Amino acid sequence: MENNMIITTEKLTKRFPMGKTEFTALKGIDLKLGMGEFAGLIGPSGSGKTTLLNIVGSLDTPTEGKALVLNQSIGNLNAKQAARLRKEQLGFIFQSYNLLQVHTVFENVEFPLLLLKYSTTERKKMVMDALDWVGLTDKAKQKPSQLSGGECQRVAIARAMVKKPSLVLADEPTANLDAANSHNILQTMEKLNQELKTTFLFATHDEKVIGYLKRKIFLKDGMLDKDEIL
């Protein structure tokens, strides 16, 4: 069972200095997330969901406790190892898409593969496959500024998925989208989760996203409040 775990946290605590005092964002979180799950961290602003997502994404480190992601202890990783984990195993989807505006859709999706040093032929095939998953093969040569918000977010999904990562972290991925586009995006991610068995972990308080989740992890004031598995 442990071997199938993508994320394991034990008494995970994160404190941030605030002047002379400290603010505790996470208070002893114990969590296990298995391979292929479609889960979400749910809670109001300040509940600690983004902090937890950052630690799981090796963008931050725990103050106390343990965070194992793909069998790697986040607290013990140096910058190079953390970058390697993100490069090889993790995909990120942001609220505001964060595409490189001067590059085409193809180049945006291609970027993670460049870091992984795939050959040109491999890259081309993998990028076109990823664009096919999100239905954007015809937009490959366009720039992000020529796309709608929903299309931009689909490009971001393709960029996160192109290297077929073990875990995709999505922070409020539908916050800037209307209902129709939100559902479209969520259906795309749900499909990829089912077809590629990629684990998805969301941070959200959007009811539309919550509706799609197979597992709902509620956070409140930095603590695990409720964990519902459907």
Residue with Cβ nearer another protein (51 or 181)? 51
In angstroms, rounded to a whole number, what is the distance separating the alpha carbons of residues 47 and 114? 36
Taking CB under 8 A as the rule, does residue 70 contact another protein?
no
How many Å is the maximal CA-CA distance in the chain? 55
229 binds another protein (CB under 8 A): no
DSSP state of 70: T
Task: Answer yes or no whether residue 107 interacts with another protein by CB under 8 A.
Answer: yes
**DSSP notation for 109-175:** HHHHHHHTT--HHHHHHHHHHHHHHTT-GGGTTS-GGGS-HHHHHHHHHHHHHTT--SEEEEESTTT
Question: Can residue 80 be called a binding residue for another protein (CB under 8 A)?
Answer: yes
* Total site size for another protein, rule CB under 8 A: 32
- Our finding on whether 94 is near another protein (CB under 8 A) is yes
Is the Cβ of residue 115 or residue 229 nearer to another protein in the bound state?
A: 115
**∠ at Cα 97 (187, 91), nearest 5°?**
70
Q: Are 7 and 68 in contact (CB under 8 A)?
A: yes
- Taking CA atoms, 152 is separated from 72, 173, 174, 200, in Å, by 32, 11, 11, 19
Residue from 7, 43, 69, 92 touching another protein (CB under 8 A): that is: 92
The region of 2-10, 94-102, 176-184, 194-202 touching another protein under the rule CB under 8 A is 94-102
Q: Using the rule CB under 8 A, which residue among 26, 31, 68, 82 binds another protein?
A: 82
| Residue closest to 169 by CA, chosen among 182, 158, 160 | 160
DSSP-assigned letter for residue 4: G
Q: What is the pattern of x (binds another protein, CB under 8 A) and - over residues 26-65? A: ----------------------------x--x-xx-----
**Smallest gap from residue 92 Cβ to another protein (A):** 5
Q: How far is the CB of 114 from another protein (least distance, A)?
A: 5
Residue numbers at the binding site for another protein (CB under 8 A) = 54, 57, 59-60, 79-80, 82-88, 90, 92, 94-96, 98-103, 107, 110-112, 114-115, 159, 171
